[in-house]
Homo-oligomer: A and B are copies of this chain.
Amino acid sequence: KDSYAVTLLPGDGIGPEITAATKQVLQALATRCNFRIEWKEALIGGAAIDAKNDPFPQESLEQCLASDSVLLACIGGYKWDKNPRELRPETGLLKMRKEMGLFANLRPAKVLPQLIDASTLKREVVEGVDVMVVRELTGDVYFGTPKGIDMVNGQRVGYNNMIYSESEIDRIARVAGDVASKRGGKLCSVDKANVLDVSQLWRDVVTDVITKDFPEVELSHMYVDNAAMQLIRWPKQFDTIVCGNIFGDILSDEASMLVGSLGMLPSASIGESGPGVFEPCHGSAPDIAGQDKANPLAMILSAAMMLQYDLDRPEEAALLEKAVEAALDAGVRTPDLKQDNDGCKLVGCAEMGQVVAKLV
C-alpha cells in the first residue's frame, strides 16, 4: 500500500499551527519515501462545539472511521470551561475514544540527550530513561456505571464505578505484553490490589495472560502509590508499564515530567482493528495560540507513531524520529525548550516544522 487517507483533527488553541507544521513534515517524508497521503480535516473539541454544538459530531466520527489513521492536535480552552459536561471539549475526546474502540493508549517517555537538562530531575537520574506507559483507555472509573450525583437522606452523594471486566483486562494485557516483548522485555503492571477488588482481578488476569502467552516477558506488579514514588526515585528501573485508565492518566503525566518538556511527548491510541488516533500529550495552550510560539515536535513524533502502528511503515517512523533529533542537534529550539546560554537558536512553530521537513 502506498497511499493513505489520514484525517486531521486540528482542534483548539495551538492545534491548527502544530497541525500545519506536522502536515508539512509528513508531506516531505511522503515525497522522499514514495508514498501518498490524502488529507481530510474534521472537527473536534471547542471548534466542533462552536460550529456544531457537539464536541465530537457524528460526521467527524464517520470521517475518522473511514480513514487509515487519525492525527489529533489538541483540544480545550477557557472559553468552554464553564459549559455543561456534554458540551465540553474533553467530552468529545472521551466520546471519540469510546466510539472508535481505542482501548490502548501508548505513551512513551524517552529522554533525549539533547534535552536532558530540561528535566527538573538530576541528570544521572533521567539520562537514558526510556519508559512506555500502556494505559487502558475505554474502561475504569472513566466510563463505569452506575454514576451520578444523587440526593440520599437529604444530602448529595457523588459516585462513579471503578470497574473492569476480564476481557477488557485481557486485551490491554496482550497489547502491553506485545509492546514489552518488542522493547526491553520487562513489564510492570500497576494497580492497588491491596485495597481494590477491581485491582485484584486486574492483577490476576494480567498475570494469567503474560505468564501464559508472553513467557519471554518478565512481569512484575507494583502498587500505584509506590509506582508514583519509584518513577521519581529511579525511573530507569522501568521499561514498559501497564495500568488502568485513571492510574495511567496520572502516571503517564508524571512520567512525562522525566523528559522535562511536554512539548516533546507523543501518544498513540489504538483499538482491536480500524484506525488509531495519534496525538501529542500536551494541551491546547490557549495563552500562546496563534503566536507561532508552539512546539510542533510532540505532534510530529505522534505522526511517527502513526507511521509505525497504523501505516505499517516502521522505517519511515524511524526516519522521522531521527529528523527530530537532527533538528535538535542543529540547535534550533522553540520557546518551551530554550534555556539560557544553551547557544541555541530560538525558532517559532512554523520554522521548527520547516527545519524538520528539510531534515527528513
A contact residues vs B (CB 8 Å cutoff): 85, 88, 90, 94, 120-122, 125, 141-142, 144, 147-149, 152, 155-167, 192, 194-202, 205, 224-226, 228-229, 232-234, 246-247, 249-254, 256-257, 262
Contact = CB atoms under 8 A, between A and B. Distances in A.
Nearest to A225: B253
B228 A194 contact: no
A141 B162 contact: yes
Contacts of A85: 200
Contact of A90 (B147, B148, B194, B253): B194
Nearest to A261: B233
A240 to B, nearest CB: 19
A198 B229 contact: no
A160 B158 contact: no
A125 B232 CA distance: 13
A163 B167 contact: no
Given A90-B195, A122-B121, A158 B254 contact: no
29 contacts: A90-B195, A120-B121, A120-B234, A141-B141, A147-B196, A147-B198, A148-B197, A149-B197, A149-B198, A149-B201, A156-B165, A156-B166, A156-B205, A157-B163, A158-B164, A158-B196, A158-B199, A159-B163, A159-B198, A160-B161, A160-B162, A224-B250, A225-B250, A225-B252, A229-B253, A229-B254, A229-B256, A232-B257, A250-B250
A155 B167 contact: yes
A134 B160 CA distance: 22
Given A155-B167, A225-B250, 5 more contacts: A147-B198, A162-B162, A228-B228, A228-B250, A229-B256
Contacts of A163: 157-160
A199 B142 CA distance: 11
A345 B85 CA distance: 58
Cβ-closest 6 pairs across A and B = A158-B201, A158-B198, A159-B163, A225-B253, A228-B254, A232-B257
Contacts of A254: 228-229, 232, 254
Nearest to A234: B120
Contacts of A90: 194-195
B162 A195 contact: no
Contacts of A94: 195
Nearest to A167: B155
A122 to B, nearest CB: 6
